[in-house]
Amino acid sequence: MKVHTLTLAVLASLASTAATAETADPLKKAFIDDSAVKVQFRLRYEDVDVANVDQQNQTTLRTRLNYQTGDLYNLYAVAEIDDVRSSKNEPLIGDYKYTQINQSYIGYKGPAETLALLGRQRILLDNQRFVGGVGFRQNEQTYDAVSVKNTAIEGLTAYYAYVANVNRIFPEGSGKEENESETNLVNINYKALDFAKISGYAYLIDNIDVAAFSTDTYGIRATGDIKLDALKLSYEAEFAQQSEAANNPETYSATYYHLGAGINFDAFGAKVSYEVLGSDDGKAGFITPLATLHAFNGWTDKFLFGGKGNWENGLVDTSFALTAKLAGLKLLAKYHKFDSDYGDIDMGQEWGVSATYPFAKYYSVGVKYASFSGADAGYGFSNDTDKLWVTLQAKY
């Protein structure tokens, strides 16, 4: 039995008890008085134009209903359902018609600032470069897991999760919608230093269904900023080492590193970044199968590589970004230059712009456009590609 099914069964049983026992004040307080219901609508139009392949467009509407109980003897429960309606199903667009339990877990607020969750849940670690939820897509990636987080030491967050199943963004019946797993995730985050926030992690992925996704990754990450009146300087540095694990048929060792520096003045900012997903001499590359891939290496998603986020020759991403905030309008412009880590391959370039505007407290509208071009011919990512998104969101 999947852990989210067990969670829903317990939740339904407790809710039924609360509804029929009017004199049971703790149950009524937890399931009715202190409970919270949230509703979200996200309407999106997406247009994709891949040179020499096809041009496709699609409109989707996601409705999300979230219910969270109040505390009952330090226990609480969350249930979240997503429903996506689609004008059509286009193979070049990663949103699909579906109705699904997105989250369903029981939480326990234990002693010494400990929080434990059992069931289907979000797991978003650091900047989601290695473990995330792919929140941009209409179907979010969630995890059937047991997780424990402790914040007893000031500034220190210790996190562990055992993942039994990864619920991916693909539709039911595709054969890719979930991966059975025996994965251990460890992340220690320390934020008490004035000049740095430091994370150390070990992500030990044992993917039962996709052997090539099984990896052991160990790394360290540091971010920080320095404020000088209206001027703020920021930096980012990360290093990780990866090798094959469990049932992975390949034997390899690859490195990852990322260096970034930024400057912000009032409502304007700029950032330069250099990221390398290394290659083991062209035999295998450093992969990120649990990452929020859309947030990295360009919005056109040219380098998903079947969900691995890299290929055997590795990926070097040199990027520049400009940001601005004007009268509530958030503006972003980005440029990426892509090269292989091994083999001297020109993997192209991409530029993109986005604008987001929140209004009337509950609503926001966003427009995003990206254009990829210039890759060496003969590779699976070499076709020039343009993508446009228009999104309207409401949260209640």
CA distance 4 to 167: 11
The DSSP 8-state label assigned to residue 173 in this structure reads T
Residue 24 lies in a domain: yes
Distances 291 to 134, 249, 287, 383 between C-alpha atoms, Å: 7, 21, 9, 24
Alpha helix positions (H), the chain:
3-20, 25-28
Residue 396 lies in a domain: no
The DSSP 8-state label assigned to residue 72 in this structure reads B
Q: Please give the pLDDT value at position 5.
A: 55
CA atoms within 13 A on the CB side of 74: 10
Q: Please give the pLDDT value at position 194.
A: 84
Amino acid at 120: R
Nearest 5°: phi and psi at 357?
A: -135, 115
Residue 196 lies in a domain: yes
Residue 282 · residue 344 · CB < 8 Å: no
Q: Please give the pLDDT value at position 229.
A: 86
Q: How many domains does one find in the chain?
A: 1
CA distance 124 to 131: 6
**Token pair belonging to 216:** 């052991």
Residue 257: Cβ within 10 Å count: 16
Q: Please give the pLDDT value at position 1.
A: 41
Q: Please give the pLDDT value at position 195.
A: 87
Residue 394 lies in a domain: no
Which of 211, 159, 164 is CA-nearest to residue 185?
Answer: 159
Residue 395 lies in a domain: no
Q: Please give the pLDDT value at position 173.
A: 83
The DSSP 8-state label assigned to residue 305 in this structure reads G
Query: CATH no. for residue 73?
Result: 2.40.160.10
Residue 122 lies in a domain: yes
Residue 127 lies in a domain: yes
Nearest 5°: phi and psi at 295?
A: -80, -5
The DSSP 8-state label assigned to residue 31 in this structure reads I
Domain with 332 in it: 3-389
Tell me the torsion sign for CA atoms 144, 84, 395, 331.
positive
Which of 332, 378, 373, 338 is CA-nearest to residue 356?
Answer: 332
Helices vs strands, H then E, count in the chain: 2, 18
Distances 195 to 259, 274, 299 between C-alpha atoms, Å: 16, 21, 31
Which of 225, 223, 207 is CA-nearest to residue 215?
Answer: 207
Which residues lie across from 319 on neighbouring strands? 273, 336
Residue 133 lies in a domain: yes
CA 149, 152, 157: angle at the middle one, nearest 5? 45
Q: In the chain, which residues have pLDDT < 50?
A: 1, 18, 21, 23
